Chains A and B, each alone.
Chain A
Amino acid sequence: MKRIAVVTAGLGQPSSSRLLADRLSAASGLPADTFELRDTAHDVVNHLLTGFPSSKLQAVLDNVADADGLIAVTATFNASYSGLFKSFFDVLGEGALVDKPVLLGATGGTARHSLVLEHAMRPLFSYLRAVVTPTAVFAASEDWAGASASLGGALRARIDRAGREFADLVQRYEQKPAGDPFALTMNFEDLL
């Protein structure tokens, strides 16, 4: 059975990014381990400073690297992902997302921020050589408002479509086991 990881960088509690992440995760129909980066925010900064992760952060990094797919959700800060979101992917091991299906989500105060998905997030994950689903989901405050059934309905439809695309990619891509950084990959006589 395949398993996905969900990483959400919302800072509020409760967080609308977490809410979106949970909806996307449910729409994929896949078993998921969900991580709020708020819980390891200090560990992420400490990793940047010391060069190694705490055991708590290591468990999250390993979980993401070993997952068959990743849902990544951030709140929008100054027309981009949050610094915490970027820092997490800065300390995630090199190659951890290569050929891994990734579903992107973002939240913001108004729909005017929605291109954060295409102008900030998608290039980052393209660089990391992830397989990004065609549909990414932005949820503005108004999308959560129950008052307008049409807006809420449109968000639900986008979430369902994204979840289907993502689940389909997860089934199609087989993940290779992560490389062992301590493994000896050469013959010393050849190096000489």
Chain B
Amino acid sequence: MQFGIFTVGDVTPDPTTGVAPTEHERIKAMVRIALKAEEVGLDVFATGEHHNPPFVPSSPTTMLGYIAARTERLQLSTATTLITTNDPVKIAEDYAMLQHLADGRVDLMLGRGNTGPVYPWFGQDIRNGIALAIENYALLHKLWREDVVDWEGHFRTPLQSFTSTPRPLDGVPPFVWHGSIRSPEIAEQAAYYGDGFFANHIFWPASHTQRMVGLYRERFEHYGHGSADQAIVGLGGQVFMRKNSQDAVDEFRPYFDNAPVYGHGPSLEDFSAETPLTVGSPQQVIDRTLGFREYVGDYQRQLFLMDHAGLPLKTVLEQLDILGEEVVPVLRKEFDALRPAHVPATPVLAGAR
């Protein structure tokens, strides 16, 4: 099983000091966090893609290419790459190039993006969100598997005798995850291609995630890629840890209370009860995370959100130390022991269409 972190790349003032990092500081902090992930033995770093303030990561392959050059083992990924507003031809080229530079340590997670105003900046319309995700991925899938492509669709100019370069490393396209919170069409898309399905998980009740993953697994089997329990599932998680759980709660509360998305809403306690957020001791995080398996089955990748809401870099690095030293080794051992032999331990390409 793979463990890692994913970052939104938000520039948020630290609510305890009122000070926000500059864009430059935030970008450098994201890189520092990725390098730390490798240092502490994590497997994956994934960056978001956003094109509006207060977010900085508009150019994921630039950032991941830089991180690739400074790491040895870390798997580089995204959360998410916008399949709706990016030209699938450019995604095919950029991620194949990154794959070569990183000696294959690359996969990507596709998502639609959820803010209406972003679409027209890239010549698209949010009302076509699902249709764009379906058509653009069909093209991307083809570009990575066929050397010469003739293609015609609704949303971009036709292609005649087009070859996307460089070709994927060793002829194996980067592994693809499809991320969605509650669109059954996207779970279906992941199942159809035999790709991975990633459930954001963190901002929503577990029942959402359970239904979406259940649908994906059922359809994965329907399309003949293997049994439902062999489908490739990833989950998000969100944690804050200190040795004593009350210290974790006290330290994290101002960040929670002022966080983008859920700040000024439910209490930390209510949100922890309704979603997978876990604020407490490393053992509490271990117990809660092992519990995810009870409603999604054995899964292959667990990503934690660690660096949002204005948490200072120093604190995030401390959190990664705890995650890497005290939490992930235990999770790795426990999940491995529970997983039946016929279920893949990590994302695999075998069986992909």
Interface residues in chain A, defined as those with a beta carbon under 8 Å from any beta carbon in chain B: 42, 45-46, 49-52, 54-55, 181-186, 188, 191-192
Contacts and interface: CB of A to CB of B under 8 A. Distances in A.
A41 B333 CA distance: 44
B205 interface: yes
Interface in B178-206: 182, 184-185, 187-189, 192, 203-205
Given A46-B265, A182-B182, A186-B185, A51 B203 contact: yes
A52 B264 contact: no
Nearest to B266: A46
A45 B262 CA distance: 11
Contacts of A49: 262, 264-266
Contacts of A50: 203, 261-262, 265-266, 271
Contacts of A181: 182
B29 interface: no
Q: Enumerate the 9 nearest inter-chain pairs by beta-carbon distance, A residue then B residue, closest first.
A: A49-B265, A182-B211, A46-B266, A46-B265, A188-B192, A184-B184, A191-B134, A50-B262, A188-B188
Contacts of B192: 188
A188 B130 CA distance: 12
Contacts, number: 54
Contacts of A182: 182, 184, 211-212, 215
Nearest to A192: B138
Main SS at interface, chain B: helix
B241 to A, nearest CB: 23
A27 B211 CA distance: 41
Contacts of B185: 184, 186, 188, 191
A186 B192 CA distance: 13
Given A54-B274, A182-B184, A45 B265 contact: yes
B51 interface: no
Contacts of A191: 130-131, 134, 185
Nearest to A182: B211
A45 B265 CA distance: 7
Nearest to A43: B266
B243 interface: no
B170 interface: no
A183 B205 CA distance: 18
A188 B192 CA distance: 7
Contacts of B131: 191
Contact of A55 (B135, B205, B265): B205
Given A186-B188, A191-B134, 14 more contacts: A49-B265, A50-B203, A50-B262, A50-B265, A50-B266, A50-B271, A52-B274, A54-B274, A182-B184, A182-B211, A182-B215, A184-B184, A184-B187, A188-B185
B294 interface: no
A50 B266 CA distance: 8
Given A54-B270, A191-B185, A184 B261 contact: no
Interface in B224-276: 261-262, 264-266, 270-271, 274
